Amino acid sequence: MVQTIVSDILSKRRELSEEQILAMIEEKKKEGRGLLSDEGAARLVAEELLIQTRGSDLGRMQVKDLVSGLNDVTISGRVLLTWPPQQFQRRDGTKGRVMRIVLVDKSDRVRCAIWDKHVDVLSRAGDLQGRVLRIGHAYTRQGLAGDTEVHAGDRSSIQLDPEDMPNSDLPEFGDLFTPLAKLAPGAYQVNAVGITQADPRYYNFTKEDRTGSVLRTMVADESGAIALVAWNERAEELRELKNGDILQILNARVRLDNNARAELHVESRSQVQILKTPPEYLRMPTTKSYKVAELDAQKSSVGLVVRVLAKGPPQEVKRATGEAVKVSRLIVSDETGIVSLSLWDDKSELVNQIQEGEVIEVKGASVRERLGEIMLSIGRSGELQKTSRQVGAKELTKISALQNSKGLIIVEGTVSDQPLARQVVTERGETVSLASFTLRDDTGACRVTFWREQVANVLGLRSGARVKLVGLRVRTGLGGEFELSSVPLSRITALDEATKERPAWEDIRHVIALEPGLSTWIKGVILDIEEPKLVAICENCGSRLKVSENDFTCENCRQQRHGSVALAARMRIDDGTGVAGVVTSDIHAEGLLPVNLVEIRGQMLKNHDSQIPLDKEQYSVLVGKEIEVYGTAQPLAERGKFDLIAKKVVLAGES
């Protein structure tokens, strides 16, 4: 094409040589500082020499070669964007019309202004999007944004879908759309199409001295899903958008949210359209099934089958926008890993239909990563249901392998020291409680910390107790060693071997022979009882219950419970070799005292108190009786004296 322009110049300016013209073209390219192609520079030289280049031969001129200042350009492209015609009044009082469109070819895109009589032609042509438009004898000008624009004026010609235009010269309309998973942060002028995954959330906002509106939803295609954010007038256009609608987005841009996840932003220059039928270029979204270990932040709309290890009740939280929403959280696992799962909006109430230990099937979950931990979320577009499918159990993590662990883990071991409770002030200035202890297995030892409300579940642990910890996070301590830290739904379960219903005579240890941390049976006569009371405990985990709305609630299990009645007291017993204390907290009262459990529970609920003190008349029936106790010896301040933390108490001679 450059040689054609040079030939045009030589035919009209015979005083110039080809070498001179080529030198002028090179000089023009230098002036353009690398922004001009050979053809663009040649056309500017021709314009300055007042040589009319052959516009009829330029139908295949690429958009990337356009420069501002050309007066006879013929360009062809596929229509990507159109805006409604606008009417205006010129300085001489006459009325004019202008219609703006964007054309694309395989090299780039260009904004075009169609003036006056040509507006009527295009207006009568119907939907222009995706059609081929040829503009002849146009001129180019610099736009307000500094880019080159093509203008079709009175002496220009326009032609829709020219038959002599080879299809290979232009991209297909579907080629202009980017798969959602490939949208890169910072990209602009992007086009996408997908299926809406949730009914949108719409709200108004005020920022500084202006107000606006925003609409948020999720869209997905075969490659993945992305959050869509529409602003102001675009948000208004999508007010009727519903879950499952086909949405086409043009001229949008990609930004990162506060969690470094990509969002597709639809703004004033963008165009959106709800399509009635799926276009050929839409690859329909599908939910792919994964194992927990296969999840990463690049995957979206995932499916998996998992077992519920722990769950919490629905809670109301506020988004950054001030909008109040409900969320409930679970810890779930398969044989490959453990992960937290959040249920948002209408899905939050599903937690009340699920029991810990049940298997659920999850579809359409989104994945994000925070501080190296993978987390799942289900919103309005996701699905969750119980299933009879089988799920393998996640293997225990050995303490020596903590450095290779990702996400939440399950570990078993022996408590090496008494948990210590203290308070710390967080970076936000919040004072929180924590309790730490050392856990040891056959491969090593590590420090374990439980936080906030879970501290109460740890303080009862004694040195030598075997425990199973579920849903803990691995972190690096101040000295570089690996530690375990609880999350809100972490679970701790005692693993002491099941005690016999009654001890054989050789299983009973004398009080004088007790040792710190020893778990054993002792037998003796009750001398007295200190501050006895009946308490309501969880029949599942043994934790103290609270009275809430005329029912018992277990804060550890995060569920309402029927409740068992236990005797909480300290008894002194004598076996002839010495006196020891017996401390009970979760020993069922019906095996020791003549109590009416129905009446006791009713009285607790009526008093809104999960404990009832016993008067002397009620507990004196135990004094003087012989009991057999299984528990763990805890040394007292007085040398040689012990309390036995009871796990089982039976009346001697009774079955």
Question: Can you give the pLDDT at residue 156?
Answer: 87
> pTM to 2 decimals?
0.55
Look up the CATH number of domain 288-386: 2.40.50.140
**DSSP 8-state symbol, 335:** T
Tally of CB atoms within 10 A around 347: 21
Q: Which architecture, in CATH terms, is 505-651?
A: Beta Barrel (2.40)
Topology classification of domain 177-275: OB fold (Dihydrolipoamide Acetyltransferase, E2P) (2.40.50)
Q: Locate the domains of the chain by residue range.
A: 177-275, 288-386, 399-494, 505-651
Question: Can you give the pLDDT at residue 307?
Answer: 93
Topology classification of domain 399-494: OB fold (Dihydrolipoamide Acetyltransferase, E2P) (2.40.50)
Under a CB-based contact definition with an 8 Å cutoff, are residues 303 and 288 in contact? Answer: yes
What's the N-to-C CA distance of the chain in angstroms?
A: 106
What is the DSSP secondary-structure string of 84-141?
Answer: --EEEE-TTS-EEEEEEEEEE-SS-EEEEEEETHHHHHHHHT---TT-EEEEEEEEEE
d(CA 338, CA 50): 75
Could you say which residues of the chain have pLDDT below 70? 1, 32-36, 47-48, 50-60, 167, 320-321, 496-501, 557, 654-655
What is the DSSP secondary-structure string of 446-468?
Answer: EEEEEEGGGHHHHTT--TT-EEE
- Give 203-220 as a 3 state SS string: EEEEECCEEEEEEEEEEE
Question: Can you give the pLDDT at residue 55?
Answer: 45
Question: Can you give the pLDDT at residue 462?
Answer: 78
Sign of the dihedral defined by the CA atoms of residues 282, 283, 286, 290, in that order:
negative
pLDDT in tens, 25-76: 888 777 766 656 787 778 777 766 756 555 434 446 789 988 888 888 889 9
Under a CB-based contact definition with an 8 Å cutoff, are residues 554 and 545 in contact? Answer: yes
Question: Can you give the pLDDT at residue 555?
Answer: 79
Closest CA to 521 of 508, 511, 512: 508
Question: Can you give the pLDDT at residue 57?
Answer: 44
Question: Can you give the pLDDT at residue 59?
Answer: 44
Under a CB-based contact definition with an 8 Å cutoff, are residues 425 and 461 in contact? Answer: no
